[in-house]
Amino acid sequence: MAIDDLFRPLTVRSLTVPNRFAMAPMTRQASPGGVPGVDVAEYYRRRAAGGVGLIITEGVRLADPAAGYPTSIPTIAGDDVMAGWAGVVDAVHREGATIAAQLWHQGAERADTDGVVPVSPSGVDGHGKPKGRALQRDELSQVVDHYARAAASARDIGFDAVELHGAHGYLLDEFLWEKTNLRTDDYGGSLAARTRFPAEVVAGVRAAVGPEYPIIFRFSQWKGTDYAASIAADPGELTDLLGPLVTAGVDIFHPSTRRHYVPAFPDSGSDLSLAGWTKQVTGRPVIAVGSVGLQTQFRSEKPGQLIEPESADRLVAQFADGEFDIAALGRALLADPSWVNRLRDGTIDGFTGYDQEKALAALA
């Protein structure tokens, strides 16, 4: 299998991605008042023109004051906002790419400096410390409705898919993680119970967008507050975690890792990455992410730490082994919006992320 195989299209429900590369979601806080402007449209357009087949937007705040802060993070409610997003979608589509809106509720990780009280499963943050308040049982359906309305709005604007942010210690992930889900009702306790609310969100979104509109679900083992965290200790628990989400309507999984090639469960005797295991236990298409195209891992514990330089050969090998269907790039696309075109055209060696000497000089 050659690099050319990464430039074949992928169709999932109504979505056809022209190649196997995505832009990973990255928060920017560049939308004053929550309204994405022409600069936001240009930001995404450049990455689409640079060869990315699927743009996944920065996290988009639900239309609930408790969902996110600051207000410079875009939302998805209001005429000005909708018009702004329509401009973004049009700009990306003109370059031949597709685009998904990532729907985001920050949960207990929301800042509370504006007087709005953060809400979460149990009123504790990722450090296990009290913060905000716990969601009451009768409030959960309201949160589901916020997700559903946001997804329907994204579809109506022209987004090709939605992604539900269930990773990194935010609301949906706070339900999944036993450290932040201390509930004693049927939304807490066992892994099956902790998965219940995220599955209800997926089901609510599916009902709102219809049977053919693609739903992506992003999840992670690691959290912003704990790189060593885990919600699934082995492939069996991963199956139990993701199975209800498949049943509820997830079409594509986006397992977020800090290094896309690291074995997820080394004690199992397998070198499969988290993306590879996710695809194996769900049968769904998978987006791999985590230091793709770079030689420094995401948020290294040691400042300036270098890891083995990323190789296109390794990415191709993982794809050939069926570990993922799409590779998502983040920092590499910030450094060079044309990274994907470079790979296709054979000029990737000119990218700084592959140059050990340049990287070391930049860290000096």
Structure token digits, residue 205: 């979104």
* Residues 143 and 172 sit within 8 Å (Cβ to Cβ): no
Name which of 218, 111, 128 is nearest 177 in CA terms.
Answer: 128
Q: What is the dihedral of CA 310, 278, 67, 24, to 10 degrees?
A: 30
Name which of 82, 71, 79, 136 is nearest 106 in CA terms.
Answer: 71
Verify cis geometry, omega within 30 degrees of 0, for the bond prior to 70.
yes
Q: Is the dihedral of CA 270, 254, 23, 104 positive or negative?
A: negative
Question: What SS3 string covers 54-83?
Answer: EEEEEEEECCCHHHCCCCCCCECCCHHHHH
**Residue 262: partners with Cβ closer than 8 Å, 6 or more residues away:** 273, 290
Q: How far is it, in rounded angstroms, from Cα 255 to Cα 220?
A: 5
Tokens 């709102």 sit on residue? 208
187 is annotated as an active-site residue: no
**Using alpha carbons only, how large is the chain's radius of gyration in Å?**
19
Tokens 């230091």 sit on residue? 291
Beta bridge partners of 326: 287
Q: How far is it, in rounded angstroms, from Cα 75 to Cα 63?
A: 7
* Residues 310 and 352 sit within 8 Å (Cβ to Cβ): no
Structure token digits, residue 175: 């339900």
The active-site residue, picked from 43, 69, 147, 170, is 170
Beta bridge partners of 120: 134
Q: Residue 289 is inside which H or E element, if any?
A: strand 287-289
On the 0-12 / 13-18 / 19+ scale of CB atoms within 10 A, 343 is buried
Beta bridge partners of 16: 11
Residues with catalytic roles: 170
